Structure 1
Amino acid sequence: MAGQVVRIGAGAGFAGDRIDPARDLAERGNLDYLIFECLAERTLAYGHLQRAQDSARGYNPLLEKRLNAVLPACMAYGTTIVTNMGVANPRAAAYVAIEAARRMGLRIRVAVVEGDDVTARISDATFLPEIGRTVGESGLRLVGANAYLGAEAILPALDAEPHLVITGRVADPSLFLAPLAHRYGWKLDDWATLGAGTAVGHLLECTTQVTGGYFADPPYKTVPNLAYVGFPLAEVDADGSAVITKLERTGGCVTDLTVKEQLLYEVHDPSAYLTPDVTADFSNVRLDDTGGDRVAVSGATGRARPDRLKAIVGFDGGFLAEAEFSYAGPGAVQRAQLAAAIVEERMRNVHGCDERIRLDLIGVNALHATAIRRPVETQDVRLRAAMRTGSRDMAQTLLSEVESLWVAGPAGGGGYRGSVNASVTTQAVYVGRDSIETKVEVLQS
């Protein structure tokens, strides 16, 4: 397996990412490590809600399906899997993984990384900088809170030579950085090299965004065979420089342009990208597109890591009600606008609703809302009504009012669809690094 470079692949970039490209990587990638990054802020908050309802839940529901797809090949080729699919319950996820392996006739060693859950450290006095209020002043019910751990938390797990490492909230690039630091023996204060490794992780963490998926924008930016776009992998040298590529016979592309777009994705300051491991500096990154879906990346560096860790606090967001109704033919926009006004008036004056109701016309202003207003000529428009509320009855009332447009008018409407779901909201806080205690436990089938 391992040669002069470390081969590390991305098996998922979000909770619901595709599985077949990950299987392809496991089977044909000749990988040292396969990383599944499956956590977002709200994904984690929903995990806490699920664990509160059932102590055996709270992990990524696709965990077993993903392992069924990749574990046999990974064990055959000596590929170590690292993932944050533990979400709010890494230990439960480990037991699921062991049982899934047993059903495949495999015996695995699983390292569980815990310590990111900081719920007990959040009090009514905790200040929420994004809204300028404390938790107590917000009036929101706490669901759970997790700090963004870094590569340092994963390294002891890799020392145990597991087949699978399962974590909760770990910063996305840190999932990739930890195996590189482990294999090459990078010191945790070697800021330049950690910055280079963080760049690799950042480029891989969103899977197909760097292989042409989110890059595609025809006719300006065309990408071949996008239905079968491949997941990326990197060939990483000991100094952190790397080649970003993908498997042959997969769709998509890896070019200097796809790499540039992903390098800047969600990076507010390329010279000071804050992670738990390092203050990474991407401002002098050099790209060398050698063709054949291979782009060499070098020049990333870094400075000392931040003193504090970011943590995400999840709150119960009540119920999210969403209902849609379509209008077609001449005057469709005007009739949809009338329908929206009717729904608004009845919710306020008949049902006494004082919640904010979002009313959009899909095809006119659904994404931009009222930020952009321009004349629109269309004969096909869909009204969307949405509301977040603490009352399930009020949420259901919104659905009923939209559904009543079938017969109450205006004319030419149809295609009702509605749903009421539990929702969450999140806020960022910062916690002292010294207040976090991580631990690793190795479980074996």
Structure 2
Amino acid sequence: MKETYNALINTQEFASQIHPQLKLVSKPSTEFVPQVLNRSIASILKAGVTKRDIEEEDPFFVCDLGEVARQHAQWKRLLPRVQPFYAVKCNPDPAEIQLALDAGVDSSRIIYANPCKQASHIKFASSKNVNVMTFDNADELYKIKMVAPESQLVLRILTDDSKSVCRFGVKFGASLSIVPYLLETAKSLNLDVIGISFHVGSGCFDATSFTDAVELARKAFDIGEALGFNFTLLDIGGGFPGNNPEGLQFKDIAALLGPTIDRLFPPHIRVISEPGRYFVSSAFTLAVNIQARRVVSLDAEGNPTDPTHDENPSFMYYINDGMYGSFNCITFDHAVVKMKPLCRSGTFMYEQEHSLKLFESSVWGPTCDSIDLIGRNIFLPEMKIGDWLSCSHMGAYTIAAASTFNGFKKSNVIYTDTN
């Protein structure tokens, strides 16, 4: 069994495998390291859409590893005490436990952070010396005792995730009232619990959610210490925003979170985190090709009708990536995707201002499924078959859950380093 899920990889070691300016811990395998260009995103997009670097009209990502490195440098500068462990599920490119090990990441730098695991997956992780794993219920403790009793366990507590886009509290996390029972159960099973973890939800938009959760974690630490446990680890989870000019900024979270951790936890307590979108969201730009279109009018309810001689028609564009592919983030991550013209009638338009007339449009994916709708009420200049659109900030929860439904392959990734 090679599949194990929700692995967290120490970012310093993992990033060193893909970026030369970060400390190289061990030699990565040749299969892991992709070809990395040293060109601007714009130049790669331009070459791609003019068919000099890729064939036909297939969609493709441009991944800027330099952006990942810049995010890592910012983390170390603003939140130096907290050691980031990349949340692999956000963008496993490549990742999960076996792939991480193949990349040269030491097993001690991996945490199996799914509180509810399949027994065979626990056994596999243990066989690879991935021994740190989370739990939030008594049944999980009995399972771990049976399969991997040498594990080092982290209790995931329930916190308020009401101020996050994606809430996890309905599925994971033990309330503070049940913490004594769970720790007593672990003690009776002679299991080693080494600390507390929490997750405020993915896409958190309130910095105080983090500090409130740290306060709860301190209470859980106190309960553990009263029962005789020697906790040494605090995992503050994820939910940190990516490099986006809109909304809550990481610097605002760090300004509150850092002092709170220092006030409540002495220096000997190791503090880690689980950032995912923080690292990869802004690193990926997606280019898609318009493979078909319909010129229509809209009725009073906004539904398309047959075309008329209306001077302001609406357009239905059909592109070659969709909801079953990279745009699954719209459904699963509540993402708001912004599309811009990339190449129109042979003119490259990436990050260029224009005064072209805009038309109300809808954009559809390539499958034969009617729910493959990326968005309505998208205003674009008139585009034609063969033109290209671009979407920025497409690194988080996009290709991670993409499928090949209806025979359409996943979008290719081209790597560059702009540092």
Structures share a fold, TM > 0.5?
Answer: no
TM-score by structure 2 length?
0.29
Considering Cα pairs closer than 8 Å and 6+ residues apart, tell me whether 1 or 2 has the greater RCO: 2
